């Protein structure tokens, strides 16, 4: 194994060495930081599997640095340089914008799977600027772009290494830089896929068409995709290609949230016993909180996690009522979830553009206000590399006991949205927030139903996924009550990437709360 300052556990070291052998067979030698020509042959695939705290992300990051040091060209959502036969490529992927942003916040240039399935078509003049900034071409001379603008772009790129940001610093519009999208035709070399428990068989097939070498990173304790019958795509891999990380590392052993997550692995554990464990953790550590009510302030950026759709809809209605949101319109700052894009085939280019900008099914979005055209919305896509955009929108507000949602406004076609103040635990998979509220009565209902998934009680999988969405603080909500907000909704925090949210105020008295 290559020399490194990181102290690996035995299972991490074994996984690193196995992946090194796989990469070497593909012509990538990370031991000696060398590359050889692409080697034809069957697809090479392996999976690094482990529960929260087992070191999957650390291993992914170290492998990324080793591949970059070996000379691999990193393909990300920022800019994709012109393909060359002598250039070996690596892409690091996640199923959602939020999951990709978690990796980017740790210094790993990840993008979404959907973004890699398509390749951008650039304006040839602006592409000259991008190639120059990346060190792959001479300083260009472009009509309408002054030397001062080019210098601004160069200075920005030197400190931020973002092509879209550098173009913006030069006064150029990103929408002029990318003129369209097309399905990727030329394969890439190596793909790392985080949160691979969310992949279904069709997505894996699509990725195998692009990457002859594919390394999956996933958590076997999470929830499988709804169309996978409880199985995950890495379950069918041969034993030698399923690299299991079982050790929980020292830096995570004093984390009460991860302690609770790992306690769910006990087959004899009952829900009442687990809730007692949560209460005990809350007594000794401020990172776990037992709450008698849902905090409405947090719902604007960190949705309440629930199991049942009926709970989700009631919480959303309670949230909107607490902020005095009118039925017929949205307030700036309301959270939304992208539910897909409704565009006919003749608008395929526009669909690809919206999806590439982050508006894929399940994307978390904050409404900023109406756009310039009727039916358009200004939006902030959480976790996207270029988060703010304007798009034709169809917003659906679901109502209790109503089959059809209320639509406060809509374009004739465009991106469709549901409200995002509360989401199901299934949809939250792959995301993380600083503080997470888990609606415990829903998990109790799942426990009483005594359902199982892949040999594990469903309530335990639900609880595991829900509590491991919390980076720093877990709020275990035990009653169906909602605290009134401390102030109106705002969007001032969205000029930069999302900050951490703290619980800074005392709980309101019961008579100030609302039920749902």
pLDDT at 513: 46
Query: Is residue 111 within 8 Å of 92, Cβ to Cβ?
Result: yes
**Token digits of residue 49:** 């599997």
Rounded Cα gap, residues 365 and 221, in angstroms: 27
- Give the pTM: 0.83
Q: How many CB atoms lie within 10 A of CB 255?
A: 18
Q: What are the residues facing 191 on neighbouring strands? A: 91, 214
| Mean pLDDT, range 228-245, rounded to an integer | 87
**Residue 18 predicted with pLDDT over 80:** yes
Helix (H) or strand (E) holding 389: strand 388-396
Q: At 473, phi and psi to the nearest 5?
A: -145, 135
When pLDDT is cut at 50, 70 and 90, the band that residue 227 belongs to is low
User: How many whole angstroms separate alpha carbon 9 and alpha carbon 16?
Assistant: 10
Q: For residue 113, which of 175, 200, 178, 52 has the smallest C-alpha distance? A: 200
Interatomic CA distance for residues 51 and 478, integer angstroms: 26
Residue range 358-400, pLDDT digits in tens: 888 888 999 999 988 888 899 999 988 778 888 888 888 888 8
Beta strands in 169-299 (DSSP E): 178-183, 190-193, 213-218, 242-245, 288-291, 294-295
Q: Mean pLDDT, to the nearest integer, of 109-128?
A: 87
Picking from 55, 95, 72, the residue whose alpha carbon sits closest to that of residue 194 is 95
Q: Give ∠ CA 72-77-83 in degrees, rounded to 5.
A: 45
pLDDT band for position 347 (cuts 50, 70, 90)? low
The per-residue pLDDT for range 413-464, each reduced to its tens digit, is: 888 999 999 999 999 988 889 999 999 999 999 999 999 887 889 999 999 9
């Amino acid at each position: 194994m290559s020399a490194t300052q990181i102290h690996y556990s035995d299972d991490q070291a074994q996984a690193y060495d196995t992946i090194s052998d796989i990469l070497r067979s593909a012509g990538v030698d990370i031991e000696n930081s060398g590359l050889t020509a692409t080697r034809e042959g069957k697809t090479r695939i392996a999976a690094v599997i482990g529960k929260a705290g087992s070191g999957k992300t650390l291993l992914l990051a170290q492998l990324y640095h080793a591949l970059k040091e070996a000379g691999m060209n990193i393909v990300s959502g920022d800019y994709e340089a012109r393909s060359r036969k002598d250039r070996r490529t690596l892409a690091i992927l996640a199923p959602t914008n939020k999951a990709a942003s978690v990796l980017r916040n740790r210094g790993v240039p990840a993008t979404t799977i959907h973004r890699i399935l398509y390749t951008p078509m650039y304006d040839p003049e602006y592409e000259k600027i991008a190639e120059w900034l990346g060190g792959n071409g001479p300083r260009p001379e472009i009509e309408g772009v002054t030397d001062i603008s080019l210098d601004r772009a160069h200075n920005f790129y030197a400190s931020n290494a973002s092509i879209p940001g550098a173009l913006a610093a030069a006064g150029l519009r990103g929408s002029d830089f990318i003129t369209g999208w097309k399905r990727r035709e030329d394969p890439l070399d190596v793909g790392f896929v985080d949160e691979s428990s969310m992949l279904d068989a069709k997505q894996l097939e699509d990725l195998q068409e692009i990457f002859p070498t594919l390394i999956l990173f996933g958590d076997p304790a999470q929830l499988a995709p709804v169309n996978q019958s409880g199985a995950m795509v890495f379950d069918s891999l041969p034993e030698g290609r399923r690299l299991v990380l079982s050790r929980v590392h020292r830096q995570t052993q004093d984390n009460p949230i991860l302690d609770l997550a790992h306690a769910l692995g006990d087959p004899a554990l009952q829900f009442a016993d687990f809730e007692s464990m949560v209460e005990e953790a809350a007594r000794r550590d401020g990172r776990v909180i037992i709450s008698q009510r849902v905090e409405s302030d947090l719902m604007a950026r960190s949705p309440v996690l629930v199991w049942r759709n009926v709970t989700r809809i009631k919480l959303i209605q309670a949230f909107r009522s607490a902020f005095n949101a009118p039925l017929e319109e949205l307030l700036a700052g309301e959270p939304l979830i992208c539910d897909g894009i409704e565009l006919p085939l003749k608008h395929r280019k526009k669909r690809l553009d919206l999806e590439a900008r982050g508006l894929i099914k399940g994307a978390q979005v904050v409404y900023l206000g109406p756009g310039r055209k009727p039916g358009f919305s200004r939006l902030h896509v959480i976790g996207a590399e270029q988060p703010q955009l304007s798009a034709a929108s169809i917003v659906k507000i679901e109502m209790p006991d109503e089959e059809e949602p209320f639509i406060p406004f809509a374009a004739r076609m465009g991106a469709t949205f549901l409200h995002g103040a509360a989401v199901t635990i299934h949809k939250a998979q792959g995301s993380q927030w600083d503080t997470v509220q888990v609606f415990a009565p829903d998990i109790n209902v799942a426990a009483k139903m005594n359902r199982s998934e892949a040999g594990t009680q469903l309530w335990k999988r639900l609880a595991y996924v829900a509590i491991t969405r919390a980076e720093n603080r877990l709020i275990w909500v035990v009653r169906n009550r909602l605290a009134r907000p401390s102030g109106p909704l705002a969007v001032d925090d969205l000029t930069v990437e999302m900050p951490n949210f703290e619980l800074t105020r005392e709980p309101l008295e019961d008579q100030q709360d609302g039920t749902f």
